[in-house]
Structure 1
Amino acid sequence: MKLLLLLALCLGATTATAQLTDSFADGNFTQNPAWTGDATSFQINPAQQLQTNGPAVTGAEVQLVTPCAAITGTTWEFWTNLKLATSGGNYADVWLMADAADLKATGTKGYFVRLGGTPDEVALFRQDATGSPVYVINGQDATLSSAANNLVRVRVTRTTQNVWTLERDLTGGTTYTLEGSATDATHQRSAYFGVYATYSSANNRGFYFDDFRVTDAAAPLLLRAAAPSARQLTLTFNEAVAASQSAGNYRLAGGGGPAVAAAARDAADPTLVHLTLAADLPLGSVTVEARNVADGFGNVAAGPLTATFQNNGFAVTPALNQLLITEILADETPSVGLPASEFVEIHNPSATAVLDLAGVRLLKQGSTGNPAVFPAGAVLLPGEYAVVCGSTRTAQFAGYGKVFGLTNFPSLTNSGDQLVLRGKDGRTLFEVSYSDAWYRDARKKEGGWTLELIDPANPCGGPENWQASQDASGGTPGRANSVRATNPDRTAPVLLRALALNPTTVRLYFGEKLDSAAAATPALYTLMPAAAITRAAPVGPDFRLVDLTLATPLTPNQPVAVTVQRFLDCVGNASGPVTSVTFALPVPVAAGDVVINEILFNPRSGGVDFVEVLNRSGKYLDVQGWQVGSERAGGALDAEVVSSTSVLLPPGGLLAFTTSLSVLQSQYPASINPANVLQVPALPTLPDDAGVVVLLDAQARPLDRVAYSEKQHLRLLDDVNGVSLERIRATGPSEAGNFHSAAGSAGYATPGRPNSQQQADPTGSDVLTLAPELFTPDDDGQQDFTTLSYQLDAPGYVGSVTIYDAQGRLARQLVRNETLGTKGFWQWDGLTDRGQKAAVGYYVLLIELFKPSGGQQQQYRKTVVVGARF
């Protein structure tokens, strides 16, 4: 009574409609179909039945399996006879579905019929990855109660709705008795069908199996559809479908969606079909239809089978400026209304794109610590804002919408920092170098208020596109900024300066962020004298710098003009046709090459000190490592490095060092040149009454030294706070007589600009030169003092200068018995010995020169006019 043994559902079927009919009549179980496992523990007996023949050992376990993918809409039938008394150690399991070939292994999942066991029953079980088997249908106890002949034929069905039915016939025929029904949809995958037996030593040959039949007569069902990307659909069926798939069997319902360009069954999971679309999926509800889809056995679902899903867009990896930092709370105290916790706000400015943030890193540029990394699954929807804070602060911002609490969230410096968002591939997505000057509000700068981005469409903007929040709570985390407005960047980029980092590398400095791709074209740049450029490399993360690699090394101290033909900023503004700056490979500095040119040691309220230096040599110098020091009593020096990076100081160049460029700009808006001002982390403390400033090179060797005093200021000034002392003559000595208060008409200080009181050295060979011969001591920056210059034939003279009015009365003892060099000068500020402004009129300067070594004595007279402006 051999029956059809294994239908075409089992893997290995040669065609979609064929059935495998192995009745063991061929005397083996190794082919058609092939059973594997404990092959030596089974045999085909003379009755052409599969019989156990394992070792006669109590507790033995033997198994055979054959590939089979039966799932739902399936009927399983088999015949068996257990010629033994079943018990807890003597039973058989027929696995209808198994996801692995080893039925003995922990972790194998599926369903099986147990024959025997302690209850002597026929029952259906489910086996999960862990734990003991679970009843699906608990059969009647004592069904298999014979000590030597437990004959039974079993039929199990599973509908496409996952309803299981268990039936048996104890005569071995097909007049079935229902054991029960149940619904169970736990396992939806199968790879194997198999038999398993465990027995005591006397029963090693007591299990007989025959007439296995697995029938799938149900057409496949479409369970669901999903879109892994804009042009991909994945359809999930309830069972394996035919290997060959046609795009013509699938379409999007409604007729308005993109066509299906290709269809293919998944290589690993035969229940999946992947569709490739000719265009992007539409947003919203999408329904996909399947027609005439066959399973692996020729059962065809005429259809249409449908599945609907919601397309809310597809998360994409953000590119440059597609993910923005739009708000920063660096100084959280005193709290105005926001949580007293640092945070930044991120924003997706796109109207359609969902951003995949997984692996995106937030970090402070230059920090050596681990960055804050967004976790897998983190997304930002179109137009959405989110708060980013430390992992322990998430609860504080829960009421503000989406929050990402990240481990290693960077500590934000109140005064300013450079924050960078990098993609998981390391590319820069966004950069901002904020400063507390961006608040534009002294009160809000003190804490509790956020900095907000004004125009998200201008992501490259700097201070002009940020300001303090105007919201009463101090900020707008999780929503549009209170200062949001149209603020486009229409300014073309500017080449500020160039510096030779080494003989074959030139760094260009630009005034704003560049289009990094466009800036990487070597043909945009030329050098004169000509030198070949082999590479142009924009420097991240802000791309304000471009490094040029030269084919041949530069000659030290030789001026070179670099010209940029055309370049773009990061929003597409183009520069003019030609922009050029001059640089040179710097050479070592020597004492006297650079002098202290201007000192502000007693700033206004809220102001800052500055020290300006002048390169009076013909050398191109690099100030990297230079120090500014304040000399204390006893000669101790408190010094600070003014530049840890290379900064070129050309011949005649000025450079002012200060701790806050923004403060200097606010207090001296008309007299500062920011391009020649270098903001430094710190300056030594400069006493307001008197002190000594020292300039040192990178090896701490003195370059210049100036002693200053508030008494050097023009005594006509009512308030000297905020008034700098300026060097008068570049080539003159670094002494008090060569410094004068900056002119009021110049704003009382000229950081980065030529001094308001500077004078050129006199020309000619006269022993004494007086200029101007008419001066107006009113601190307007025009002829505020007169200068008496001398040129002597030899050193060793002693000089005195006495000033008399037109009536011969003593007005000022300007110089008394001063030892002179061969060249120098004295200045008269128009004040008398009493500290009063001299009256308008003529004055006579009596100059007496005496040379002690030879006894020579000479007298000279010069006339000068003290005037006044009306």
Structure 2
Amino acid sequence: MRLPVVCLLGLLNQLPAFSQAPARYDVIIHEILPKPTPTAGLPAFEYIELKNRGSKAWNLAGWKLGVNKREIQLPAYQLEPDSLVVFCSTAAAAAYNQPGIIGHPKFPPLADDTALITLYGPEAQVIHSIYYTRDWYGGPVKGGRSLEMADPSHPCTETNNWLPSPDPKGGTPAKPNAAAKQLEDDSRPDLLFASVADSQQVFLHFSKPVDSSIAANPGRYLLPGFNILTVKVLPPIFNEVALQLHKPLNPASLYTITVNGIKDCEGKESGLFLSAVIGKSAPPGPKDVVINELLFYTSPGVPEFIEILNASAKRTTADKLFFSSRKKDGSFSSFKALTQQARIIEPGEHLAFTTNPQALCGQFACLAPNQVLKVGSLPSMPMEAGSIVLVTADSSIIDEVHYSDSMHFALMNTNRDVSLERKSPFFPSDDMGNWHSAAGTYGGASPGFRNTQRQEAAVNSINIVLSPDVIFPDNGVVDNQAILSWKLPSAGYTGNIRIFDAGGKLVKRLSDNLLMGIEGSVNWNATNEYGEMLPSGIYIFLIEIFNLQGEATRWKKTIVVARKLT
């Protein structure tokens, strides 16, 4: 019997050799409800929603869904293109009682604040994985409200692509996401740091998932004097790469490894952070690493952070360190690991830890964004007072700070979104005089880089410089604005800076009650209070500086604004 061609092709497509395997991100994790109570209107059950963002239907038989270390086998279900399916417990499916929601007798529980969720294809390949934290909510976990992916076209963007559902019921299971919107994402896969697993294996840690087909090429990596034998991009997040070397590293030497052409799943490539140092390090001892800055009172959407500083002369690693706090009885709260990788901390290097680096650097000027690292959670930091302890796994104390809101600068209107900075890493951590509010010139915090109130060798006088003498606002690049810079003898100075024309008329309030750092600067681009360009002429800067000890000083400095003749 001869079969029609159409039937023959249908049979061939059912054979393994002719079946098409799903690619990564063909199906994505699209919505999750980690904390269903107190309910906003949905049944009080957790769920995970999947979306087929491809052009081919997939039968989910043989696929797996994992939450941390627990996995379940998915049942046979035909997931059509651009369609949704929700998996939950058997009791939850009965409570929802709507199409597209499937109950599973072994549905794994979702932690309220942090968990790794992974979708595996029929060949156990990772299709999509997310590592959610409580900061995806932009603040405290909102019970009864799901987390929704805003833009499925950015599947390898995590925190900024997930939002609490704005739906009045708290979520949209098996329905289009209420938080859906077009995402503007220009993040790149920066090389954050490198670590050494053993003498012939190096791990590279990137800021976001990378394209495995590109990152698996040994030619993308340069380590002078070494050949890269194999490269493995590590699942399930694919933001770590393991390199196998042809010979051992010298434990007494430092090496610089460089990457090139590494892209994310959307084809974007980093042009900034492309190299990292690897080599010998020593375990941290007491006061080798100190707690250097704390942000504990924040607005909604602004994450807290803890910054540490390597105050020693030796290279050490962060993977042996944990954050904790003190309970009322003086015992430690749960330990929070800084990192699972052997992240090197160079002498004098700052590292800030937060649950949402992108949100933190959207609020403050992160001058070293590769030194702002993501953690699943931080110890509780009450806004009135609390403690932060830096410890090793055996509870040895490396540093400890007891803070309170009274340690902030007394003349500030509010200390919300203002960090406490350590003045000197060599003065005691429990000395209240060794802490000060971060300068307003940096937006109120300095995560990952030198403190605005860092006190070095004593400065005997106030030094204020206005330059250049003449500015040319019509010049696009050179000398088109005035820079007023200062160096002060100590922290705690407040400044008022006003600009007058030659006739004594006030034209610009450059700053009022500005909390100044030890060093800093402000710019003026020859505009008035309304942003309008001022005419040519002589202008006078009046600078008033005072502190809580009653010291007050004022200066007058002049500058010329010159414009092209028309």
Alignment-derived partner of residue 440 in structure 2: 744
Q: Which amino acid aligns with 1:431?
A: S
- Aligned letter for 1:379? Q
Q: Tell me, yes or no, if the aligned pair for 1:565 and 1:577 is still in contact at 8 Å.
A: no
* 1:454/1:315 CA distance change after superposition, 3 Å: farther
Please give the per-residue CA displacement for 1:311-344, whole angstroms capped at 9, x wherever unaligned. xxx9865332222222222232343343332222
Paired residues of 1:315 and 1:356 also in contact (CA < 8 A): no
Bigger share in strand: 1
DSSP 3-state at the match of 1:387: strand
Provide closer, same or farther for how the CA distance between residues 405 and 356 of structure 1 changes in structure 2, counting only shifts above 3 A: same
Separation (CA, whole Å) in 1 of partners of 2:273 and 2:297: 41
The question of whether the paired residues in 1 share the 8 Å contact of 2:321 and 2:393 is answered with: yes
Give 1:489 deviation, angstroms. Answer: 6.0
Tell whether the 8 Å contact from 1:566 to 1:577 is kept in structure 2 after alignment.
no
1:325 has 2:29 as partner? yes
1:455 aligns with 2:151: yes
**Following the alignment from structure 2 to structure 1, what is the Cα–Cα distance between the partners of residues 210 and 67?**
21
* 1:357 is the counterpart of 2:52: no
Q: Which residue of 2 is the match for residue 409 of structure 1? A: 107
Q: How does 1:746-825 map to 2 (within 5 A)?
A: 746-761=442-457, 770-772=460-462, 777-778=493-494, 780-783=515-518
Alignment size in residue pairs: 482
User: What secondary structure sits across from 1:537 in the alignment?
Assistant: strand
Deviation at 1:543, TM superposition (A): 0.6
Instruction: Return the letter of the residue paired with 2:312.
Output: S
Tell me the secondary structure at the aligned position of residue 202 of structure 2. Answer: strand
Q: How does 1:663-674 map to 2 (within 5 A)?
A: 664=360, 668-670=363-365
* Alpha-carbon distance in structure 2 between the residues aligned to 1:354 and 1:395: 26
**Structure 1 residues 556 and 733: alpha-carbon distance in aligned structure 2, compared to 1, 3 A threshold:** farther
Q: CA deviation at 1:592?
A: 3.9
- Which residue of 2 is the match for residue 505 of structure 1? 201
Partner of 2:84: 385
Q: Is the 2:454–2:518 contact (alpha carbons within 8 Å) kept by the matching residues of 1?
A: no
Other-structure match for 1:652: 348
1:82-116 C-alpha deviation (Å, 9 max, x unpaired):
xxxxxxxxxxxxxxxxxxxxxxxxxxxxxxxxxxx
Deviation at 1:652, TM superposition (A): 1.7
Change over 3 Å in CA distance of 1:355–1:458 after alignment to 2: same
Cα drift, residue 361 of structure 1: 0.8
542 and 446 in structure 1: CA distance in 2 versus 1, 3 angstrom threshold: same
Aligned match of 2:44: 340
Letter in 2 for 1:603: Y
In the TM superposition, residue 756 of structure 1 has moved relative to its aligned partner by: 0.6
Change in Cα spacing, 1:439 to 1:719, as seen in structure 2 (3 Å) is closer
TM-score, with length taken from structure 1: 0.49
Match of 2:262 in 1: 567
CA deviation string 1:205-249 (max 9, x = no partner): xxxxxxxxxxxxxxxxxxxxxxxxxxxxxxxxxxxxxxxx6xxx4
Q: Give the alignment of 1:405-554 within 5 angstroms.
A: 405-439=103-137, 446-487=142-183, 492-528=188-224, 530-554=225-249
Residues 781-826 of structure 1, C-alpha deviations (whole Å, 9 max, x = no match): 24599xxxxxxxxxxxxxxxxxxxxxxxxxxxxxxxxxxxxxxxxx
Shift in alpha-carbon separation, 1:685–1:280, aligned structure 2, 3 A: closer
CA distance in 2, matches of 1:349, 1:608: 31
Q: In 1, Cα distance between the equivalents of 2:136 and 2:94?
A: 29
Cα deviation per residue 1:711-756 (whole Å; 9 max; x = unaligned)?
5543434545654432223445544444333223333332322101
CA contact (8 A) 2:286 2:399 kept: yes
What CA distance in whole angstroms lies between the structure 1 residues aligned with 2:333 and 2:10? Answer: 72
Name the counterpart of 1:798: none
Structure 1 position 536, deviation (Å): 0.9
Which TM-score applies when normalising by structure 2? 0.72
* Residue deviations 1:24-67 (CA, integer Å, cap 9, x gap): xxxxxxxxxxxxxxxxxxxxxxxxxxxxxxxxxxxxxxxxxxxx
Contact between 1:348 and 1:383, CA under 8 Å: does it hold in 2? Answer: yes
In 1, the alpha carbon distance for the partners of 2:401 and 2:31 equals 45
Distance 1:661 1:492 in 2: 14
Partner SS for 1:517: helix
Return the offset for 1:672.
7.9
For residue 229 of structure 2, give the secondary structure of its aligned residue in structure 1: strand
2 CA distance for matches of 1:447 and 1:437? 13
Q: Which amino acid aligns with 1:446?
A: K
Supply the AA of the counterpart residue of 1:381. E
Alpha-carbon offset, residue 405 of structure 1: 1.5
Please give the alpha-carbon distance, in whole angstroms, between the structure 2 residues aligned to 1:640 and 1:437: 19
2: CA distance between counterparts of 1:250 and 1:710? 82
TM-superposed CA distance for 1:537, in Å, is 0.7
Q: CA deviation at 1:492?
A: 4.4
Q: Percent identity?
A: 31
> Are residues 728 and 277 of structure 1, via their aligned partners in 2, closer, same or farther at CA, if it must alter by over 3 Å?
closer
| Residues 1:424 and 1:725: Cα distance change in structure 2 (over 3 Å) | same
CA, structure 1 residues 659+697, in 2 after alignment: closer, same or farther (shift >3 Å)?
A: same
Query: Given residue 338 of structure 1, which amino acid in structure 2 is its aligned partner?
Result: L
* TM-fit CA distance, 1:561: 1.5
SS of 1:758's partner is coil
The corresponding residue for 1:594 is 289
Deviations 1:365-410 (A, max 9, x none): 3x2x3x22112x43223333222111232223332x2332223212
SS across alignment from 1:393: helix
| 1:212-361 superposed matches below 5 A | 249-251=2-4, 275=8, 317-351=21-55, 353-361=56-64
1:726 is the counterpart of 2:404: no
Displacement of 1:584 in angstroms is: 2.7
Deviations 1:388-439 (A, max 9, x none): 111232223332x233222321212333422111123321111122344445
CA shift, 1:599, in A, is 3.7
Q: Helix, strand or coil: the match of 2:81? A: coil
CA displacement at 1:772 relative to structure 2: 4.2
Against the structure 1 CA distance between its residues 488 and 597, is the aligned structure 2 distance closer, same or farther, given a 3 Å change threshold? closer
Q: Distance in 1 between matches of 2:80 and 2:329?
A: 66
Tell me whether 1:603 sits opposite 2:297 in the alignment. Answer: yes
SS at match of 1:446: coil
Find the structure with the greater CA-based Rg.
1
Structure scoring higher RCO (CA < 8 A, sep ≥ 6) equals: 2
Cα displacement (A) at 1:362: 0.7
Which residue identity does 1:588 align to in structure 2?
P
Instruction: Give, as a single letter, the amino acid of the residue that structure 2 aligns with 1:558.
Output: S
Q: Matches of 2:4 and 2:403 in 1, distance apart? A: 87
Q: Residues of 2 paired with 1:494 and 1:660: CA distance?
A: 16
Aligned-pair distance for 1:538?
Answer: 0.4
> 1:869–1:636: structure 2 CA closer, same or farther, 3 Å change rule?
farther
Mapped partners of 1:432, 1:750: distance in 2: 29
Matches within 5 A, 1:629-708: 630=325, 640-643=335-338, 645-646=340-341, 647-658=343-354, 664=360, 668-670=363-365, 675-680=370-375, 694-706=389-401
Whether the 8 Å contact between 2:13 and 2:19 is mirrored in structure 1 is no
Question: Partner of 2:115: helix, strand, or coil?
Answer: strand
CA contact (8 A) 1:489 1:571 kept: no
Question: Could you give the per-residue CA deviations for residues 116-156 of structure 1, whole angstroms, max 9, x where no partner exists?
Answer: xxxxxxxxxxxxxxxxxxxxxxxxxxxxxxxxxxxxxxxxx
Structure 1 letter corresponding to 2:233: P
Q: Which deviations, in whole Å up to 9, do the C-alpha atoms of 1:560-601 show, x marking residues without a partner?
A: 21111212322333455992222334222233432232244x
Instruction: Kindly indicate whether the alpha-carbon contact (under 8 Å) linking 2:29 and 2:48 is maintained by their aligned counterparts in 1.
Output: yes
Instruction: Sort the Cα spacing of 1:869 and 1:744 in 2 relative to 1 into closer, same or farther, 3 A.
Output: farther
Paired amino acid for 1:500: V
